[in-house]
Amino acid sequence: MIDRYGRPLEDLRVTLTHVCNFSCFFCHMEGEDTESMQGLSPHQIGLVSRVAVEFGVKSVKLTGGEPTLRRDLPEIIREIRTSGVRDISMTTNGFLLANIAGKLKDAGLDRINISLHALTREKFKDVTGVDGMDRVIAGIREAKNQGFKPIKLNFVLTKRNSEEAKRVIEFSEEIGIDELHLIELHPVGLGRSTFSFHQGMEELEKEIAKIAVKSEIREKHFRPRYTLPSGLVVEIVKPYANPIFCAGCNRVRLTVDGKLKTCLYRDDKVIDVMYALSNKDLTLEERLELIRHGFEAAISIREPNFKYMMKIEAQQA
């Protein structure tokens, strides 16, 4: 279903928990209020996915906090699978992945995005607060062994880790990663107070474009993508103050406390469906009908957050 700006709804981004075993200095916390930590049950998530599919959603992205901290993650994936979603993916810090990648594959997870913001131990710890680089690398390797495809790595570029970007590109090429996303820092969540570490992507993108054998624009968010001679695809993710990115936005978020949040940046563009998910007196059909109303309302209030070009200025921390 299309919103007032002609943007289809195709993707549901589900926050499974606000808890995380890392403490990255820029964490945007999916733009949510972190007071509510307890996530929705697999059944509740399955109900929302079922209705989402009716409205045109084809893919579900599982996020957090850290989604692998949910013990019932395989059950959540199975519930979503039965709702008819075609593509189920998860964004993770990778710390626990080596132990559970196989179980997630068996449950029906299609693909994984793993964050890797540094490839020197000290810098990794500086960014994430955890001395966990080796475990994350083991997680990436295990995801590959289990046959997840594509495997994407996420690298958030900041003034604190910019010298790590080339290492992460080389590493991705060496171990045969499909895609590397270079992401800019957002002034959302912790990123608001650490936005002084914002680093422009222009220089790096120019260097990448120079050696690329192919360049294209992805439909989702109109993100630029470059194929390097090694076959690695590097995608540039610059959502802040970028009306082109917002024009290609095809998603709604489901928050930990049962709200349909129509934009990462907006707390005023939210529809609460918790009543439909939690009231025990409702029949299944009544629940589904209320969630349908929720989606209709969410689509009617969806709008691009950035509509005009803005100059990015790093704020003082």
Ligand X SMILES: Nc1nc2c(ncn2[C@@H]2O[C@H](COP(=O)(O)OP(=O)(O)OP(=O)(O)O)[C@@H](O)[C@H]2O)c(=O)[nH]1
Read off φ and ψ for residue 14, nearest 5 degrees.
-105, 120
195 binds ligand SF4 (CB under 6 A): no
Nearest to 240 by CA among 17, 14, 24, 26: 26
Chain positions contacting ligand X, by CB under 6 A: 61, 63, 89, 91, 113, 152, 154, 181, 183, 186, 237, 239, 249, 251, 264
115 annotated as belonging to a binding site for a ligand? yes
Whole-angstrom Cα distance, residue 317 to residue 308?
25
Question: Which of 20, 52, 57, 201 lies at the binding interface for ligand SF4 (CB under 6 A)?
Answer: 20
Name the residue with tokens 């307890």. 38
Read off φ and ψ for residue 134, nearest 5 degrees.
-65, -40
17 annotated as belonging to a binding site for a ligand? no
User: Which SS3 state, helix, strand or coil, does residue 170 take?
Assistant: helix
On whether the CB atoms of residues 284 and 242 are closer than 8 A, the answer is: no
304 binds ligand SF4 (CB under 6 A): yes
266 annotated as belonging to a binding site for a ligand? no
On whether the CB atoms of residues 107 and 74 are closer than 8 A, the answer is: yes
27 annotated as belonging to a binding site for a ligand? yes
Contacted by 90, from ligand SF4, ligand X, none: CB < 5 to 8 Å by type = none
In sequence order, what are the residues at sequence separation of 6 or more whose Cβ sits closer than 8 angstroms to the Cβ of residue 129?
Answer: 22, 23, 24, 25
Q: Which stretch binds ligand SF4 (CB under 6 A): 54-62, 140-148, 300-308, 309-317?
A: 300-308
Read off φ and ψ for residue 300, nearest 5 degrees.
-70, -25
The interface with ligand SF4 within residues 237-276 (CB under 6 A) comprises 239, 245-246, 249, 263-265
Structure tokens at 138: 């083991």
22 binds ligand SF4 (CB under 6 A): yes
251 annotated as belonging to a binding site for a ligand? yes
Nearer to ligand X, 61 or 302 (CB): 61
Annotated binding site for [4Fe-4S] cluster: 20, 24, 27, 246, 249, 263
- What is the binding site for ligand SF4 (CB under 6 A)? 20, 22-24, 27, 64-66, 93, 115, 128, 221, 239, 245-246, 249, 263-265, 304-306
Annotated binding site for S-adenosyl-L-methionine: 65, 115
